[in-house]
Amino acid sequence: MNTRIASSVLALCVALPTFAAAEGLSVSAGATLTSRYLASNVDQTSGAAFQPWIEAEIQGFYFGAWASNTSAVITGSKTEVDLYVGYRNEVGQFNYDIGYARYFYRSPNVNCCGEIILSMGVAATDAVSLGVRFAHDPVADVTNSSLTIDYAVNDKFGLSGRVGKLSNGTNDYWNVGGSYAINDNLAVSASWNDSTARVDGLAVVSLDMSFNLR
């Protein structure tokens, strides 16, 4: 991990105990074990990926770190680390989230790029929610736009679908899938993913773990 990434992640971990004393602060962490890491349904690994994360939030403001192994053959690096910050809120049935994410890669070390991200959603019914997301890279001048729909069959089982598009015309993508909450901390999911940048569609299965540390 390069010095800038290591320093940022270390600063986040060191700061958490201090922030934990703040009124209304919540801290959560977890990890995903997935059969394939996809970005806009384009392969970032040729096999399984392990993706740990940690996040702190206070009064809607949040910051965190997320990481994953990647394929050097595909991405040119072996590890990705994302640092992000933002603000999220809910107003009645409507929710929104605006933030910024910076992406770093290791082996070789690359300070790649960043995106300004805006997400908005609405609970159409008690079971159905709709969402839209825009992620804009100001350096490359590319916007990744997507629409999602989620359907809660019951308290444990849910279905989802997503369609997206890159503004430079290099990739249109979509996926459908389902998830099952084993308990409050553990869930499994499966999805079918395809895009114009892929030769064939791909099924992905994942195991998600999450914990509230405060």
How does 6-45 read in b/e, with b if 16+ C-beta sit within 10 Å?
eebbeebeeebeeeeeeeebebbbbbbebebbbebbbbbb
Average pLDDT, the chain: 91
Tell me: pLDDT of 20 over 60. Answer: no
Residue 193 CB-density burial (10 A; 0-12 exposed, 13-18 middle, 19+ buried): buried
State how far the alpha carbon of 23 is from the alpha carbons of 20, 26, 57, 58, 181, in Å: 8, 9, 11, 8, 30
Structural domains of the chain, with CATH: 3-212 (2.40.160.40)
**Positive or negative torsion for Cα 154, 35, 39, 31:** positive
Mean pLDDT over residues 125-147, rounded?
A: 97
Q: Residue 75 has what pLDDT?
A: 87
Which has the closest alpha carbon to 34: 10, 79, 70?
A: 70
The model's pLDDT over 155-173, given as tens digits with 9 standing for 90+, comes to 999 999 999 999 998 999 9
Q: Which stretch of 6-10, 42-46, 65-69, 190-194 has the lowest confidence by average pLDDT?
A: 6-10
* Cβ atoms 114, 105 nearer than 8 A: no
Mean pLDDT over residues 77-99, rounded?
A: 97
Residue 167 to residue 59: CA distance in whole angstroms: 33
* Token reading at 3: 């010095």
Q: Residue 107 has what pLDDT?
A: 79
